[in-house]
Amino acid sequence: MLKTWNLKKYDNLEIEKIMKTYEVSEIKAKMLMFRNIDFEDIGEFLNGTLEDLKDPYGIKDMDKLVERIDKAIQNDELICIYGDYDVDGVTSITVLYKFLTAHGARVMYYLPDRLTEGYGVNKGALDEIKEKGVSLVITVDCGITAVDEVEYAKETGLDICITDHHECGEKLPEAIAVVDPKRRDSDYKFRLFAGVGVAFKVITALSMKYNYPKEDYLKYIDIVAVGTISDIVPLIGENRIISRYGLNAMKTTQNIGLKALMDLTGYKDIDSMMVSFGLAPRINACGRMSSAYAAAKLLLAENEQEAIKIATELDSLNDERKNVEKVIYDDSLAMIESRHLENANSIVLYNPSWHNGVIGIVASRLVAMYYKPVILLTKENGTVRGSGRCPQGFSIYEALTECKDKVIQFGGHELAAGMSLEEDKIDEFIEAFERVATAKKDGFAEQIIDIDAEITLKNLNGQLIKDIRSMKPYGQSNPQPLFEYKGVKVQAVRTLKEDKHLKLVLKDNRSLIEAVGFSMGDRRDELRIGDKVDILGTIELNTFNTPPTIQFVLQDFKKSV
């Protein structure tokens, strides 16, 4: 895959304006412009507080939802929170369940089985919920496309309120309330919440109605941050505020289940990396490999020993998931090679024996390797189900919309989607999807690596480290800043960890610069002592050295021109 370094060009007058107005360095001003933050929103990005969170009643139908919940509490109705089996769904249930039960509501929750029920609301589940005496169902992180299911619920006497954050179809479900910032008629300024972010706005609205102190909803912000970061929504606007305060709250979390899981990850720093790579895989593992109820029980646990036991089970399930993932990944590589799909504009693979809970992870790995849209299909209960991922510059949701006559149903985001289809339609679907990918290939034909700024030796100082850290937490739409450094001389080169990683010592004038390239050991032979190279990477403080030193974490390198 061709990699193109794209050093962003900036308007110097705009850079100067940002530097002067917000009293920041030139490098920091460039980082802010790189993220396309509107000038008037820079202050909130840098210094946003909980006071900057918008009025939840600005979201369509929030008043209707609050009114219906209030009625259920007053009439002692049994409420069911219907969620999704991923981190976002589980944390959404946790936040709403804990808040409602703490304020006198009778509540149960329902998580569909990934393997037997699939994503979203289904009629069988509604029948089961109805039999338990429920009169009000509130969906979290799902439901926005459940038009038929909501109609069915109404016929059976169930009231349904939808809270979701996914893209809306042409027709909204005729629920009592449809709370989704992505509604086409929405005028709420921020539309990019995770499902748990919408749930957080719901409990904020309820607190405002009842004049509860802010602590009544803010005490769940650690759980909200876990779901928000894990769901890979843009960490800007309200999501950035939620994540910053939530990560800080996690340091002293009162949720014993969350603490038990954090202790197992082995991460020293509580940041977005710890959530994404330490917590999220373990919470997701039970939904992928068995039942998501274990994750919900963990975050709702009231007993420390029970929490530790469940956390340990999730850790073991995550190990099992890794083993299954390796098998599917190896199978996929063999299929791609035998069919020469590296030359196609998309990759769609089908194996009826693959585990439905893991194919999405493998699809993501294949996108990173081949940089083209990938869909993996398997078979569950007679229906073919798939999970798709794609690179930046391509919308898999839009692509599936163009192939909708070949599938039973689909849903998701720009970069990730799920679908189901008939087995005898697979070949037709593959052909249709390839046509769409071919028509749109100019958007992702090469891997373009966007670079925040070029730096020189004079920039490598403590101020740069402070500026970089001020951009945290990193995530979607706010990646860890990436820098280019040109014309440094290779002073030393070696590999680490059985040739897996690359370690360089580079020289600029008389100064030495350390660089490490994780999983780049196979590129060792591209370099010779004395070569002049341009390097691309992130910059961090290496605290293993005494005193601490600034080092590059390489993303790529090339010979200097």
Query: Residue 10 above 80 pLDDT?
Result: yes
Taking the C-alpha atoms of residue 232 and residue 474, their distance in angstroms, rounded to an integer, is: 10
**Residue that is written with structure tokens 């990934």 in the block:** 114
Taking the C-alpha atoms of residue 554 and residue 531, their distance in angstroms, rounded to an integer, is: 16
CATH 3.10.105.10: does it fit domain 53-314? no
As a whole number, mean pLDDT of residues 296-308 equals 96
As a whole number, mean pLDDT of residues 262-283 equals 93
- What pLDDT score was predicted for residue 283? 95
Task: Render pLDDT for 239-259 as a digit per residue (tens, 0 to 9).
Answer: 999 999 999 999 999 999 999
Taking the C-alpha atoms of residue 498 and residue 519, their distance in angstroms, rounded to an integer, is: 11
Please answer whether residues 359 and 331 qualify as being in contact, where contact means their C-beta atoms are separated by less than 8 angstroms. Answer: no
Task: Render pLDDT for 25-83 as a digit per residue (tens, 0 to 9).
Answer: 999 999 999 999 999 999 999 999 999 999 999 999 999 999 999 999 999 999 999 99
Taking the C-alpha atoms of residue 355 and residue 325, their distance in angstroms, rounded to an integer, is: 8
- What pLDDT score was predicted for residue 169? 83
- What pLDDT score was predicted for residue 28? 96
**Percentage with pLDDT > 70 across the chain:** 99
As a whole number, mean pLDDT of residues 226-236 equals 94
Q: Give 264's pLDDT tier (boundaries 50, 70, 90).
A: very high
**Residue that is written with structure tokens 């939530």 in the block:** 246
- What pLDDT score was predicted for residue 117? 78
Query: Residue 232 above 90 pLDDT?
Result: no
Taking the C-alpha atoms of residue 357 and residue 119, their distance in angstroms, rounded to an integer, is: 11
Tokens linked to 320:
């099992």
Taking the C-alpha atoms of residue 188 and residue 179, their distance in angstroms, rounded to an integer, is: 11
CA distances from 37 to 46, 393, 456 (A): 11, 19, 25
- What pLDDT score was predicted for residue 241? 97
- What pLDDT score was predicted for residue 442? 76
Return the H-helix or E-strand segment holding 162. Answer: strand 159-163
- What pLDDT score was predicted for residue 545? 66
Alpha helices in 211-236 (DSSP H): 215-218, 221-230
Neighbours of 401 (CB within 10 A): 14
Query: Residue 448 above 70 pLDDT?
Result: yes
Query: Residue 546 above 70 pLDDT?
Result: no
DSSP state of 406: G
Please answer whether residues 285 and 320 qualify as being in contact, where contact means their C-beta atoms are separated by less than 8 angstroms. Answer: yes
522's CB contacts (< 8 A; 6+ apart) are 499
Per domain, the residue ranges of the chain are 53-314, 340-445, 449-559
Alpha helices in 26-80 (DSSP H): 26-34, 42-47, 62-74
Query: Residue 90 above 70 pLDDT?
Result: yes
**Residue that is written with structure tokens 């010592």 in the block:** 505
> Within the chain, what is the greatest distance between any pair of CA atoms?
79
Query: Which residue would you say has higher pLDDT here, 401 or 382?
Result: 401
- What pLDDT score was predicted for residue 114? 77
Query: Residue 544 above 80 pLDDT?
Result: no
CA distances from 387 to 27, 122, 349, 360, 412 (A): 39, 19, 10, 5, 10
Domains 53-314 and 449-559 share a fold: no
Q: Give 2's pLDDT tier (boundaries 50, 70, 90).
A: low
Residue 282 class from Cβ within 10 Å (0-12 exposed, 13-18 middle, 19+ buried)? Answer: buried
The CATH class that applies to domain 449-559 reads mainly beta
Query: Residue 304 above 90 pLDDT?
Result: yes
Query: Residue 1 above 60 pLDDT?
Result: no
Q: DSSP letters along 489-536, please? A: EEEEEEEETTTTEEEEEEEETTEEEEEEETT-GGGGGG--TT-EEEEE
Query: Residue 444 above 80 pLDDT?
Result: no
Query: Residue 308 above 80 pLDDT?
Result: yes
414's CB contacts (< 8 A; 6+ apart) are 390, 395, 396, 397, 398
Taking the C-alpha atoms of residue 54 and residue 76, their distance in angstroms, rounded to an integer, is: 31
Query: Residue 116 above 80 pLDDT?
Result: no
**Residue that is written with structure tokens 């073919």 in the block:** 384
Best CA proximity match to 348, nearest among 389, 315, 382, 314: 389
CATH fold of 340-445, please?
Diaminopimelate Epimerase; Chain A, domain 1 (3.10.310)
- What pLDDT score was predicted for residue 298? 97
Query: Residue 268 above 90 pLDDT?
Result: no
Task: Render pLDDT for 161-211 as a digit per residue (tens, 0 to 9).
Answer: 999 999 888 899 999 999 999 999 999 999 999 999 999 999 999 999 999
Virtual torsion, Cα 384, 389, 394, 398, nearest 10 deg: 40
